[in-house]
Amino acid sequence: MWFVPREFHFSVAILLLLFGSPCLSSFLNAENKIKSAVFLSPKFELGPGSVINKEYYDIDFPRGHIALKSFNAEVVDEVGNPIPLHETYLHHWGVGRYHQSKHVTHTRNDGKRMLQSSNIVKVRNSGICQGNTLGQYFGIGSETRGTATDIPDPFGIEIGNPAEVSEGSEDKWVLNVHAIDTRGVEDKLGCTECKCELYNVTVDEYGRSIRPDYKGGWLCCYDCTQCKLKEGFEGPKRSLYLRYTVKWVDWDDFIVPLKIYVIDVTDSMKQSDNSKGTNFDHDCKVNEFIKKHTVNASMNVGSRPVSSQNIRILIILIKIQNTELEI
């Protein structure tokens, strides 16, 4: 008698389901249906040591009821040449979704933030952080450069479903770009880590005092700040863009919709009040400091600093006939 693992039964069942269903041809021909487009963000300018942190609303993006298959982005110059990270450090970037009335005649696209707007309804990802924290659909930091984001068939990220957009509104997208020009700076690593002493700031972008024990982070490298240059260094400003490539297919009933979750290691999650263990309150801090930690002397390691690291994991949840499978 042969022993057959249960996982094998499941895999065979899936294969039989695919090959015995009328949607097989849809899967096999998916490559022929994929559409692709390349877009440029609005232009931004950076000089040596300078910083931009802009939000561009109503960016160019595929429209209609579609399934996104991939999204990739990189910083380029005016002729389309990619800019290396050691010259322009992409601190973070993100693409978010929102709904806005079709009757709005002007949508701000000047790089300034819309902190409050009655006609903007943000549509965040599926979680897990509180409010709109880390609610983007794509993008995080410089480590995303060159990372493949292709979504295999029959899956896709559904957008533009008319049933999910209120009457009189439409799907739109916002792009956030936070970049630091490190040409000629005194301390490249310190500039990319946003050490406050290198930016000579004591207040944040809203004019609020920065606490004395805050040594570095995005409170100190906000839009239009300047990192310390080497004495006598001069260099030209240059015009840059975020170039992003989107691939998608038209929506049909054979596509399996995916959900996007972003997890932050700084999340101090706790069980909700009156919860039986299934509901939690999240507090993603995004950026946090870890104090020096003294290792047990018996380990013969001594005292050493432990640096702050943010780890975010993309989890895709597949929903098939009301059953969720995590991959």
Is residue 45 a part of any domain in this protein?
Answer: yes
pLDDT at site 110? 57
pLDDT at site 287? 65
Is residue 6 a part of any domain in this protein?
Answer: no
The H or E element spanning position 188 is helix 188-192
Work out the percent of the chain whose per-residue pLDDT is above 90: 45
Is residue 71 a part of any domain in this protein?
Answer: yes
pLDDT at site 280? 66
Angstrom distance (rounded) from CA 12 to CA 3: 15
Predicted TM-score (pTM) of this structure = 0.74
Q: Where are the beta strands (DSSP E) in 146-272?
A: 155-159, 169-181, 238-250, 256-264, 270-271
Is residue 24 a part of any domain in this protein?
Answer: no
Angstrom distance (rounded) from CA 157 to CA 258: 5
pLDDT at site 8? 36
Work out the percent of the chain whose per-residue pLDDT is above 70: 67
pLDDT at site 271? 65
Average of pLDDT values for 14-40?
Answer: 59
Task: Look over the chain and give the mean of its residue pLDDT values, rounded to a whole number.
Answer: 77
Number of structural domains in the chain: 1
Of the given ranges (68-72, 104-108, 115-119), which has the lowest mean pLDDT? 115-119
Is residue 188 a part of any domain in this protein?
Answer: no
Confidence of residue 145 (pLDDT cuts 50, 70, 90): confident
pLDDT, tens digit, for every residue of 116-131? Answer: 555 788 888 777 776 7
Average of pLDDT values for 146-158?
Answer: 88
Helix, strand, coil in percent for the chain, rounding step 5 = 15, 35, 50
pLDDT at site 99? 84
Is residue 190 a part of any domain in this protein?
Answer: no
Is residue 308 a part of any domain in this protein?
Answer: no
Write out the residue range of the structural domain in which residue 244 sits. 30-183+235-258
Is residue 64 a part of any domain in this protein?
Answer: yes
pLDDT at site 311? 46
Residue 145 Cα to chain centre, angstroms: 12
